[in-house]
Amino acid sequence: MQTLTRVRAIVNEQPVEFLCEPRQSLLECLRDILGLTGSKEGCNDGNCGACTVILDGRPVNSCLVLGVEAEGCRITTIEGIARGTELHPLQRAFLNQAALQCGFCTPGLIVAAKALLDEDPDPSEERIRAFLANNLCRCTGYDKVVRAVQDAAAAGREEVPA
Amino acid sequence: MSAHGYKVVGTRPVRPDGADKVTGRAAYGADVHLAGLLYGAVLRSPHAHARIRRIDTRGAEALEGVRAVITASDFPPADAGRIIDLGEGQQTVAEVRGNMLASGKALYKGHAVAAVAAVNRHVAEEALGLIEVDYEPLPAVLTALEAMREDAPILHETLTRKELGTDTGEVSNVAEHFRFELGDLEQGLAEADVVVEREFDTATVHQGYIEPQNATALWNQDGRIHVWSSTQGAFVVRDTVAAALNVPVSRVKATPMEIGGGFGGKIRVYLEPVAALLSRKSGRPVKIVMSRQEVFEGTGPTPGSHIRVKVGARRDGRISAAYAFLAYEAGAYPGSMADCGAMCIFSPYDIANLCVDGYNIVVNKPSTAAYRAPGATNAAFAGESVMDEVAERLGMDPIDFRLRNAAHEGTRRADGPKFRRIGCVEVLEAMKNHPHYSAPLEGPNRGRGVAVGFWFNVGLASACTIGVNADGTVNLVEGSTDIGGTRASIAMQAAEVLGLRAEDVHPVVVDTDSIAYTAVTGGSRTTFATGWAAYEAAHDVLRQMKERAARLLETEPECVEYQDGVFRSGESRMTFAEVAARLNETGGPVTGRAGVNPRGAGGSYAGAIADVEVDPETGRVSILRFTSVQDAGKAIHPAYVEGQMQGGSAQGIGWALNEEYCLSPGGAMQNSSFLDYRMPTSLDLPMIETVIVEVPNPGHPFGVRGVGEANIVPPPGAIANAIYRAAGVRLSRLPMKPETVMEAIWAQRD
Ligand code: FES
Ligand code: FES
């Protein structure tokens, strides 16, 4: 058994503290220690994006980050996207566009898309496709996913008071 | 109900499981957590073909944190020859067990040979390294044509070749040679003015679902086994676990978790019995989740194939004869779906004289599994490439040529049955009339191609119960796991019958103890068959609700009319909700139920129009525009129908251009990660335009045909034909990756 390290971080606006092994990934810590199973493991080697979380403002594959590296970081997971009892515009848009079939890629896609919209509230189709190219979806062919992000971007722009 | 009068069918409500799936709350197989849970890991063969002389597990057992180690010898005794129905195919107990844990021989690189349960996944993985296996490597055979040779290494000493229905007794890698025949092929070829014959090879590809296989099992102290997993069929899991472990089905309860994609690949059971054996040995629940490498190396890809097609046509544009030779790699165990390829390859056409020879061949690759219209895509790539060339030789437009020969009601399929009402002509006409087909395509190195495809769709058994709530809503209980929105499409059919809103029907997918037998989510059957069960159960509810309404309205049930959510008798009226609120005073709860096994599955045709650009320097093919057309029969939830068409098209595009198992000469997969096994990303695809054609299936109350599969069939052929128009080369090999395209361009320049 390896020695455990104490990690303190802010996850979905809440301070958390947990013990993990140095070899455990952030994804493993989120899922198995903190019980935040919304982030998914599709490959565990940085090639599917199902585990995407926002770490200090940037989208990362949490399977490629060690739990111990999260010390002092601010992390947003899919569980932290909704605004209280209201869905985030991206979540609403994914539902209205039927942009998910099995839904396994969806947490990663929504988190990645949020990182995109935080940075660029009016992305072109090309920009959306390039930004989401790290997130594999095998079910949808991406058409409705791209449209959902476009819709959410439009809704988000409307929300900002003129 | 008139076709135009539907209130719910044909609308696009938000799916009932939607909120859970966009907030991360939906529980998939790997999310299962139980008190005292152990983590399992599987040791896999490094050789594609090897005799297993000895397995020494002592080192692993001695590692701190390890709770159980098992091998094939831990399976309880059973009748190895017993046949299990897997929903889309049958296998013997020996084959099913053999693929879960090898016994005697490892038949492919990645074949499971032992498993460990430990306190966490890292300890379990460490323990695998301490298991010593003494292998005697054997020569491996990796392609259908090699495996057919007389001197080929033999995989199974007990497998004998079946020749046109009779067992020859001869030990062989060819499990079966079958033939479908109509008319007189030679006669038809003699009548032809144009004959085109070509050979094709298609690579092994994987379904590529993003969620890896997983299973959690608890072998309880009372002898009951409970398994949780991501599966296309909870009852297949139950029955397979029972057969593999030789216990009655009633001792097994299978709980289907949310499933992260399947496409046919999550029908077969790999892990559940292994987890159950580890649980029995350790006395604790055990969870196993595959790594992506294990998914590629240890779960069913779809067969690679070698295909030869010969088509003859007369100058008047009619096809007079067609022949296909389909040699499909089944992988390590028999069962390649070559028969499905043979049923589908010429199904878009009305051809008097045809013959298909099919071969089902074992090779040292993972045991293949269904993949969306299994067997049909390989065949259609070959068939549609040849049809395109025949049309060209006749000087005909490729869609006009197909329309001239299109299958219709009464046309006979290669394997015998006559089509009922089908939508082949309507699909072709929709392609022809689509603005995409007539849009100018300018610029060098660009080309447009078309192809069509067919999938027969299946019926199979489904059960459904509906309970009425006091607030006028209903709960719908079903056993079909929901991969792509079928909770919605099933609930909507019940809502239509009940005159309720879609959101007033709450569907729930339950475990095998909570609903009667329901076959797999596969064969495009769920909206068709489980939807039909929901339709019948809803009618059962309505019949009972009419009786209650009659009591409250003080009349006879025959005198009660029901429309738009209102019961009427003369001037008096009560809404569904008003009657629902008074069930307890009128006789107690109302439950509707139905079990169906419908025979009227209606085949679905799909077509694709692809515009490509070929880079003449690198051979890279870009998809500029893509349109998918499919006959849905009736689209219950059109957005999810479009989603199926777009997803199937994207998979077909990946199959056409990039995806393949790259094997070393020894049979080890060289690209078993998503980095190297290149599936389409959002950047590789344009928007995918869709046209839903609706030629109602006479065998379903709403006309549903099923839409999950036919859409993957045409893309490789359409893209090959587009590449021909862009670059002047006809490709005969999938994937049409840059080097394949370049080789063809160079060969043409020489
Ligand atoms: S699980 Fe992290 S990228 Fe696939
Ligand atoms: S919805 Fe299934 S992988 Fe994206």
| Helices A106-119, A89-96: inter-axial angle, 10-degree rounding | 130
Nearest CA owner, ligand 2 atom 3: A137
Q: Nearest Cα to B289, choosing from B310, B274, B305?
A: B274
Cβ contacts of B508 within 8 Å, gap of 6 or more:
B475, B476, B477, B478
The gap from C-alpha B110 to its chain's centroid, in whole angstroms, comes to: 22
Asked if pLDDT for residue B2 goes beyond 80, the answer is no
The minimal CB distance from B24 to the residues A107, A134, A145 is found for: A107
Q: How many CB pairs under 8 A join A and B?
A: 185
Q: A140 CB under 6 A from ligand 2?
A: yes
Alpha helix positions (H), B346-423: 376-394, 398-404
| Selected residues 91-150 of chain A with any CB under 8 Å from a CB in chain B | 91, 94-98, 100-107, 110, 125, 128-130, 132-146
- Pairing between β-strand A5-11 and β-strand A74-76 as defined by DSSP bridges: parallel
- Overall average pLDDT of the B26-54 stretch: 98
How far is the centre of ligand 1, averaged over its atoms, from the C-alpha of A61 (Å)?
Answer: 6
Torsion angle (degrees, nearest 10) of CA A146, A148, A152, A158: 100
Contact between residue B204 and residue B660 where contact means Cβ atoms under 8 Å apart? yes
Expressed in angstroms and rounded, the spacing between residue A145 Cα and the centre of ligand 1 is: 19
Sign of the alpha-carbon dihedral angle for B434, B438, B440, B446: positive
Q: What is the 3-state secondary structure (H, E, C) of A79-135?
A: HHCCECCECCHHHHHHHHCCCCCCCCCHHHHHHHHHHHHHHCCCCCHHHHHHHHHHC
Q: Per the omega criterion (within 30 degrees of 0), is the bond before B735 cis?
A: yes
Q: Which residues of B touch A130 (CB under 8 A)?
A: 682-683
Q: What is the torsional sign of CA B169, B170, B176, B178? A: negative
pLDDT band at B87, cuts 50/70/90? Answer: low
Q: Nearest CA to CA, how far is B694 from chain A (Å)?
A: 20
Match domain B33-138+210-261+266-298 to its CATH number in 3.30.70.360, 3.90.1170.50, 3.30.565.10, 3.40.50.9100.
3.90.1170.50
Give the residue-averaged pLDDT of A37-58: 98
Q: A39–B18: do the CB atoms touch at under 8 Å?
A: no
Tokens representing A45 are: 């080697």
**Maximal C-alpha separation, chain B:** 90
Structure tokens at B249: 């089905």
Is residue B31 predicted with pLDDT exceeding 50? yes
Across residues B523-551, what is the average pLDDT?
Answer: 97
Q: Which residue of A has its CA nearest to B64?
A: A1
Quick check: B502 and B654 in contact, CB under 8 A? Answer: no
DSSP reduced 3-state for B499: coil
Task: Name chain A contacts of B207, Cβ cutoff 8 Å.
Answer: 138
Task: Select the residue of B14, B258, B685 nearest A103 (Cβ to Cβ).
Answer: B258
- Predicted confidence at residue B90, as pLDDT, reads 81
Chain centroid offset of residue A122 CA: 19
Minimum CA–CA partner of B25 in chain A: A38
Alpha carbon distance B159, B174 (integer Å): 8
**Residue A144 C-alpha, separation from nearest chain B C-alpha, in angstroms:** 8
State the Rg of chain B over Cα.
27
Distance from C-alpha of A8 to C-alpha of A20, rounded to nearest angstrom: 11
B308 Cβ neighbours under 8 A, 6+ residues apart: B197, B198, B199, B200, B323, B324, B325, B382
d(CA B284, ligand 1 centre) in Å: 29
Closest CA to B257 of B271, B243, B245: B271
Q: For residue A74, report the distance from its CA to the centre of ligand 2, in Å.
A: 27
Of B12, B22, B258, the CB nearest to A110: B22
Helix or strand holding residue B468 (H, E): strand B462-468
Of A39, A48, A143, the CB nearest to B688: A143
A137 close to ligand 2 (CB < 6 Angstrom): yes
Is the CB of residue A148 below 6 angstroms from any atom belonging to ligand 2? no
Residue A110 CA to ligand 2 centre (angstroms): 12
Name the residue ranges covered by the structural domains of chain B.
Answer: 3-26+459-596, 33-138+210-261+266-298, 305-457+602-749
Dihedral angle over CA of B17, B18, B21, B27, nearest 10? -10
Contact assessment for residue B595 and residue B581, using Cβ atoms and an 8 Å cutoff: no
CA distance B23 to A82: 7
Distance CA(B29)–CA(B433), nearest Å, equals: 45
Which helix (DSSP H) or strand (DSSP E) does residue B127 occupy? Answer: helix B121-128
Give the distance from residue A161's alpha carbon to the nearest chain B alpha carbon, in angstroms.
26
Q: How many angstroms separate the first and last alpha carbons of chain A?
A: 58
Cα of B484 vs centre of ligand 2, distance in Å, is 9
Averaged over B670-675, what is the pLDDT? Answer: 98
Does any ligand 2 atom lie closer than 6 A to the CB of residue A95?
Answer: no
Residues A144, B31: C-beta atoms closer than 8 Å: no
Closest CA to ligand 1's atom 3 = A46
Mutate to test the pocket of ligand 2, among A97, A105, A134, A144 (most ligand atoms within 8 A of CB): A105
- Which residues lie with the beta carbon below 6 Å from any ligand 1 atom? A 41-44, 46-51, 61, 63
- pLDDT recorded at residue B511: 98
Q: Going by CATH, does the domain composed of B3-26+459-596 fall within 3.30.365.10?
A: yes
Q: What is the DSSP letter of B274?
A: H
Q: Examine domains B3-26+459-596 and B305-457+602-749 and report if their fold is the same.
A: yes
CA-only gyration radius of chain A, Å: 16
Q: CB distance B211–A42 less than 8 Å? A: yes
Interchain contact, B22 vs A135, CB within 8 Å? no
Task: State mean pLDDT over B8-37.
Answer: 97
* Residue B491 main-chain phi, psi, to 5 deg: -60, -35
Q: In a mutational test of the pocket of ligand 1, which residue from A24, A28, A60, A61 has the highest number of ligand atoms less than 8 Å from its CB? A: A61
Ordered domains of chain A (ranges, CATH): 5-80 (3.10.20.30), 89-159 (1.10.150.120)
Render pLDDT for B402-440 as a digit per residue (tens, 0 to 9): 999 999 999 999 999 999 999 999 999 999 999 999 999
- What is the Å distance from ligand 2's center to B666 Cα? 34
DSSP bridge partners of B630: B606, B692
Q: How much is the pLDDT for A160?
A: 59
Any ligand 2 atom below 6 A from CB of A76: no
For chain B, what percent of residues have pLDDT higher than 90? 96
Q: Helix H segments across B619-737?
A: 638-657, 715-727
Structural contact between residues B368 and B264, judged by C-beta atoms closer than 8 angstroms: no
CA of B429 relative to ligand 2 center, distance in Å: 31
Tens of pLDDT, residue by residue over B433-474, are 999 999 999 999 999 999 999 999 999 999 999 999 999 999
pLDDT in tens, A66-83: 999 999 999 999 999 999
Contacts of B39 in chain A (CB under 8 A): none
B-chain CB neighbours of A129 within 8 Å are: 682-683
pLDDT at B88: 63
- Average pLDDT of A33-58? 98
Between chains, do A104 and B210 touch, taking CB under 8 Å as contact? yes
Chain B nearest-CA distance from A118, in A, is 18
Q: What percent of chain A is predicted at pLDDT more than 70?
A: 98
- Could you tell me how far CA B635 lies from the centroid of its own chain? 19
Instruction: List all residues 6 or more positions away from B460 whose beta carbon is below 8 Å from its beta carbon.
Output: B87, B519, B520, B523, B525, B529, B597
Probe site for chain A from B14, B21, B257, B295 (most A CB atoms < 10 A):
B21
Instruction: List, for residues B626-645, the tens digit of each pLDDT value.
Output: 999 999 999 999 999 999 99
Ligand nearest to the CA of B291: 1
Q: HSE, CB side, 13 Å, CA atoms: give it for residue B329.
A: 29
Cα B478 to ligand 1 centre (Å): 32
A141·B263 Cβ contact <8 A:
no
| Predicted-assembly ipTM surpassing the 0.90 threshold | yes
Two structure tokens written together for A144:
């409705």
Question: Which bin fits A25, alpha (ψ -120 to 50), beta or left (φ > 0)?
Answer: beta
Residue B231's pLDDT is 97
B251-296, pLDDT tens digit by residue? 999 999 999 999 999 999 999 999 999 999 999 999 999 999 999 9
**Whole-angstrom distance, CA of residue A151 vs CA of residue B165:** 57
Task: Note the pLDDT of residue B1.
Answer: 41
Helix (H) or strand (E) holding B487: helix B486-498
- pLDDT at A1 (0 to 100): 57
Cβ-based burial of B137 (10 A; exposed 0-12, middle 13-18, buried ≥19): middle
Q: Which residues of chain B does A40 touch, with a Cβ-Cβ cutoff of 8 Å?
A: 28, 30, 210-211, 260
Alpha carbon distance A64, A44 (integer Å): 7
- Determine the Cα–Cα distance for residues B87 and B97; give it in Å rounded to an integer: 17
Q: State the alpha helices, DSSP H only, in B25-82.
A: 58-62
Q: For residue A28, which amino acid is it?
A: E
Q: CATH assignment of B305-457+602-749, given 3.30.365.10, 2.40.50.140, 3.40.50.10420, 3.40.50.2000?
A: 3.30.365.10
For residue A14, give every residue at least 6 positions away whose Cβ sits within 8 Å of its Cβ, in sequence order, or none.
Answer: none
| Contact residues on chain B for A98, CB-CB shorter than 8 A | 12, 15, 485, 637, 639-640, 642-643
